Structure 1
Amino acid sequence: MAAVPRTSHFCGNLPTNQTFTADDINSKWTFVRNVSNQCYANYLYLWPHIVAPVAMLLALLYMKSWGRVDRSPNYGKLFQLTFPLQSLRCVIMLSLALVQMGNFGEGIVTDMEFQSLLPTQPQLYVPVLMAMLSTLMSMYFYQKLEVWNKPSGLGLLLLYWIWSAFAETIRFISLRKNDDFSFDVMRVCLCCTLATIYIILIVIECYVYIFQSRFGRNNLLKDLPEDLIGDNCRYVDDYATFYSNQLLYWLKPLFQLGKQRALELSDLGSIPARYKSKELYGQMEYEIQKQQEMSRKQGIESASTALYPVLMNIYGWRIALVIVMRIMVSFSFVVSASILKQLIKYVTNIRADGGQMMTHDVTVGEFFQNGFILAGLLGIVGFGLANVFNTSLQMLVQIAIPARSALQAVVYQKAMRLSTSSLLDTDMNKGKISNLISVDPNQVLTALIWFPVIFGTPSIVSFFPCWVKKKNCLNTIDTCKIKSLTEITVRNPPCPITILSNILTDDDDDDDDDDDDVGDYDDDDNDEDDDDIGDDRDDDEDDDNIDDDDDDDDDDDDDDDDDDDDDDDDDDDDDDDDDDDDDDDDDDDDDDDDDDDDDDDDDDDDDDDDDDDDDDDDDDDDDDDDDDDDCNVHCSLFILSYFYRLFSTPLLY
């Protein structure tokens, strides 16, 4: 039976065994008999992503036109009451959108490159394109549900997640029955990832929907938080949505007002209750008393309360989160550089004649070697890097400033409880109290802001070079011969960007013998260049030794250059008498140095080391050069200590 024309075009006009007919669509047990047909599975995969956006659009029109929208005067402007697990849901939905974009890119790459000999197959990219658009529509639909306070619309999202997960299951079963099934295939990996994300969204939706049905969401407008009652509170970061927090959209009214006129203090409004000194003091005092109680239980009666355990109990998990974010930011620079390297490699290796095309599904390695995919991935990584960095900085400020205010309040309250005689006894007490209130809290603020930086850049600089070159740091640190760490000054530390750029731009297969980069980490392909560098260094050392030996051996060194040449001719009987070139003089002086090695035993340690270097053979020079290259990698350990000393200064307070 001939295939339906639309179905045949959807499948790409492939042979009849790859398409499905109208009788197959309407027949009984079609799913059981045609589940191995990828075109039919993609046909079923298309339907939920067509029906769901239409249903969401109709629901929004109904709620906007005929439905009752509950919103306060400032609702949707400065703040909005979010549903439970709103931030987690937004992160999962953003991840879903990114994976759907990758799914669409996989379909395009497969159809245009790895199956270009076949007719175009809309089944590879049309269903995933609709899935990507449907995901964006669901994100907009959820945003409107929060703004209009309509939790009943979450049921539509729940049905969509269930239907999409079922479609992904059908798609995976179809891929599983294929002869070329492998988890190295990009489509299989994307299918498993999407199914997992849909299951997580189903769990979140069920929790929120059950929470709404049991406790009731519509009463929240009657029980607004104290901060949101009235229009005085303008700092609504805690009550804004995830997207508004990340983009700082909740500051838009303040920016618009500042554009019209100069801002005044009253325009900023009041701060939330949790940032007020009373709340901060109560929280800090509770933790201090808790530490004192623990000390008494341990039998330490007169021990002073440690400050950092108190701060860690209050802000510890947030500081740990910021540390993880800073490490992610540090490693993302390396990821961006690696993507850029692969992108340059793709551009320089484009096949002029098209090459021999293979008809198969794109694998994971082939997918991430495509230049267009790499360009899109580079933009996503850059945007994510900026977002994570700004979020971590904002969290640090929100940690450090309340900690400073809490310490000032605690010290002030304690100072007020001191007796008047102790304060008037000496001016030293007044100075200490002033420092404790003004200077020391600022040092704590600086320490909390810079503390996560200690774990960022030093970690990537210290461990990434060893990981790239597949070297065991624990074994090679002992063999690394660093002559003197004092040569690496704090003012001129090794540049981490230079080290990483030399590693990332290093190509082990295409290195030439004339590559003179000192910072190159390839030890095998640059031996000749290292020998040349070593010879030049030995020549310079020979010149220095010549001057030193001439001062020790010649007592009448006041003659001109002609007399020096005559002395050299007398000492060397095997050389020519009329050789006036500088290079021949160096050779003659080298012979004098070899004859006078036994006479210079009383020289200083530097001369002995230089003479020993002159007697080394070429193999020893090569070993020294290899050790120097290893030292270039492990000198990054010194950078770690440098950053630690730099940023640990505020911690001493």
Structure 2
Amino acid sequence: MRLDIVFVSIVIYSCLLMLEFNVLRTKIFHCWYSEKGYPADLKNKRLFYHYKYNSLLQRMLFTTMNWLFARGYKRPLEISDLGCVPEDFECKKVYREFNDAYSAEQERALKANSVPSLWRAYLRAYGWNITLGVTIKALADFCTIAFPLIIGGIVTYSALWYYDEARRAETVCYVTVNEFFNNGFVLAACLSIVVIVRATLLQYGSNITDLCGLQARTAFQVYAYKKSLRLPMSALTSGDMTIGQVANYMSVDALAIFWFTLYQGALWPTPFLVSLESHCFLCNTRNIFVSVFQLHIIKSS
């Protein structure tokens, strides 16, 4: 166990040393690094939402929203309390990013002599952020696999400690990694850590997909609105396109894209997760009952 702790300490100190070298490279020697100017968003005193400029820990724990929670706790919130919208969430920038992706898709379709795909443009514009959010939510879901394993280990430890008197009187001088993680108190601490990590990852992944869904919904609404403005009156009067269809494109269809972006993170890992959790639960339940039954027989005899 001591050797393992030494190896882990070496890895941690090596990472910290590399971080210090990187700071010296960027801030002192300016090697392969160019200083960026002060962001224009932060110069606006009415901008209170600094998500883009937050650290990873602040994004995962939502600490930068404490001012809003405190203000809402004291009095009802108003529109003026929210401040202005950041540049990344303004309608014109959201539309421009999606329009660039759709223009690239139109060029690809023109070269391939095919019809432009809206899904390709959607993935081109928001694919990376959606993949990141879905991956983080999948990691949070896979953390639930540890729950039956840890609870099974705690029950096994409690049963052995209760029935085996020699185990209670035994003193161990040098603890191995296996013995350390077979301890019920260590497993209880690990269970608490896994719960906190799972909740944090789940909130962070959901936040990423929520923002992507809002941007996709806004982009589709603006795109449908600008497209409807270019429609001739003959198309609306002839029955080829009605006002209700345009309204559905801007409201119902855009909202469907929003909900699809939100819930697609639960679509991919769910079948594998359910089967794996069921297998782990059944195996651990069987092992626990067998261990308790054997110890009870030994205690009785």
TM-score in terms of structure 2 length: 0.87
Equivalent residue number for residue 446 of structure 1: 259
Query: Deviations 1:406-432 (Å, cap 9, x if unpaired)?
Result: 111111111112222212222743222
Where do 1:19-168 residues align within 5 Å?
Answer: none
Provide the residue aligned with 2:160 in structure 1: 349
1:9-64 C-alpha deviation (Å, 9 max, x unpaired): xxxxxxxxxxxxxxxxxxxxxxxxxxxxxxxxxxxxxxxxxxxxxxxxxxxxxxxx
**Pairing 1:418-437 to 2, within 5 Å after superposition:** 418-426=231-239, 428-437=241-250
Q: How many residues align?
A: 287
User: What is the Cα deviation at residue 358 of structure 1?
Assistant: 4.8
Matched letter for residue 9 of structure 2: L
Instruction: For residue 199 of structure 1, report the CA deviation from its aligned partner.
Output: 1.7
What amino acid sits opposite 2:285 in the alignment? T
Asked whether the 8 Å contact 2:141–2:198 carries over to 1, the reply is no
2:137 aligns with: 326
Q: What CA distance in whole angstroms lies between the structure 1 residues aligned with 2:50 and 2:259?
A: 25
**Separation in structure 2 between the aligned mates of residue 255 and residue 200 of structure 1, nearest angstrom:** 36
CA distance in 1, matches of 2:68, 2:172: 58
Residue 409 to residue 214, structure 1, CA distance change in 2 (3 Å): farther
In the alignment, structure 1 residue 337 sits paired with structure 2 residue 143: no
SS in 2 for 1:505: helix
Partner AA of 2:238 in structure 1 = D
TM-aligned CA distance change 1:455 to 1:369, over 3 Å: same
Quick check: which one's helix share is greater?
2
Aligned to 1:570: none
Unaligned runs of 5+ in 2: 294-301
Is 1:509 aligned to 2:290, yes or no?
yes
1:296 counterpart residue number: 110
Opposite residue 100 of structure 2, the aligned amino acid is Y
Cα shift readout 1:558-604 (whole Å, capped 9, x = no counterpart): xxxxxxxxxxxxxxxxxxxxxxxxxxxxxxxxxxxxxxxxxxxxxxx
Aligned partners of 1:435, 1:233: CA distance in 2, in Å? 33
Do the aligned partners of 1:235 and 1:272 also contact (CA within 8 Å) in 2?
yes
Which structure ranks higher in relative contact order (CA pairs < 8 Å, sequence separation ≥ 6)? 2
- Counterpart of 1:391 in structure 2 is 204
Task: Give how far 1:465 is off.
Answer: 4.6
Aligned partners of 1:235 and 1:271 also within 8 Å: yes
In structure 2, what residue type is equivalent to 1:392?
Answer: G
- TM-aligned CA deviation for residue 510 of structure 1: 4.6
Alpha-carbon spacing, 1:410–1:226, altered in 2? closer, same or farther (3 Å) = same
Question: Which residue in the other structure is 2:296 paired with?
Answer: none
Establish whether residue 282 from structure 1 lines up as the match of residue 93 from structure 2. Answer: no
Give the alignment's Cα RMSD to 1 decimal: 2.3
Structure 1: runs of 5 or more not aligned: 1-185, 469-499, 513-653
Contact 2:133 2:208 in 1 (8 A): yes
C-alpha distance in 2 between matches for 1:370 and 1:275: 49
Q: Does 1:264 align with 2:45?
A: no
In the superposition, relative to structure 1, how do residues 510 and 356 fare at CA in structure 2: closer, same or farther (>3 Å)?
Answer: closer
2: CA distance between counterparts of 1:404 and 1:391?
A: 20
User: Residues 323 and 456 of structure 1 are in contact (CA less than 8 Å); yes or no, is this contact kept in structure 2?
Assistant: no
Q: Distance in 2 between matches of 1:410 and 1:454?
A: 27
Distance in 2, matches of 1:270 and 1:190, equals: 49
How big is each residue's C-alpha offset from its partner over 1:43-94, in whole Å with a ceiling of 9 and x where there is no partner? Answer: xxxxxxxxxxxxxxxxxxxxxxxxxxxxxxxxxxxxxxxxxxxxxxxxxxxx
Residue 234 (1) aligns with residue 48 (2):
yes
8 Å Cα contact 2:126-2:212 kept in structure 1: yes
Q: Percent identity?
A: 26
SS of match in other structure, 2:165: coil
Q: Which amino acid aligns with 2:137?
A: R
Q: Distance in 2 between matches of 1:424 and 1:447?
A: 33
Match of 1:608 in 2: none
Residue 182 of structure 2 aligns to a residue in which SS? coil
Q: Which amino acid aligns with 1:314?
A: A
Q: Structure 1 length normalisation: TM-score? A: 0.42
* 1:412 counterpart letter in structure 2: Y
